[in-house]
């Protein structure tokens, strides 16, 4: 009876038992695609296989940077190094790099992937350019 009261008091469901963590599957992927998305606020590096399935990812925010420090080239470099390390654990050796966005971390993330030991087969800028689409945000007056 007491357990029914506590279950009702805590929201209806009994307390969850410790679920076993999902075991990471080690994919054996030799070649992949590194997507670097660099905005004014953050840099996200996602490494996928050739079909587009994510193998590894990291971002400046995930590396522990907060606020304006996320947009620095150093934060982008650390994010790219971590994503590269994770991808190499899956056996990846060569990548094609797609860079998107206007941020400060573009070049440093790209350089970090090259120095991490990947054989870079292609570097392409895939930043979307509007054909006079949306109205841009108003100018900042400081």
Give domain 34-46+55-125's CATH superfamily: Ribosomal protein S11/S14 (3.30.420.80)
Of residues 139 and 12, which shows the higher confidence score? 139
Q: What is the pTM of this model?
A: 0.77
Tens-digit pLDDT profile for residues 17-70: 777 776 666 778 789 999 999 999 999 999 999 999 999 999 999 999 999 999
Of residues 21 and 128, which shows the higher confidence score? 128
* β partners of residue 38: 43
Distances (CA, A) of 116 to 25, 49, 111: 23, 18, 9
Mean pLDDT of the chain: 87
* C-alpha–C-alpha distance, residues 43 and 60, integer Å: 6
């Amino acid at each position: 009876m007491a357990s029914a009261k506590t279950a009702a008091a805590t929201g209806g469901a009994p307390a969850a038992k410790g679920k076993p963590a999902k075991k990471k599957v080690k994919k054996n992927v030799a070649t992949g695609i590194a997507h670097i998305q660099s905005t004014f606020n953050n840099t996200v590096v996602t490494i996928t296989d050739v079909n587009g399935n994510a193998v590894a990812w990291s971002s400046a925010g995930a590396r522990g940077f907060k606020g304006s420090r996320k947009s620095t080239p150093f934060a982008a470099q650390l994010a790219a190094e971590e994503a590269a390390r994770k991808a190499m654990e899956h056996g990846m050796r060569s990548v094609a790099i797609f860079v998107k966005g206007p941020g400060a971390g573009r070049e440093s993330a790209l350089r970090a992937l090259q120095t991490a030991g990947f054989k870079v087969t292609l570097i392409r800028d895939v930043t979307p350019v509007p054909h006079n689409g949306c109205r841009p945000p108003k100018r900042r007056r400081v």
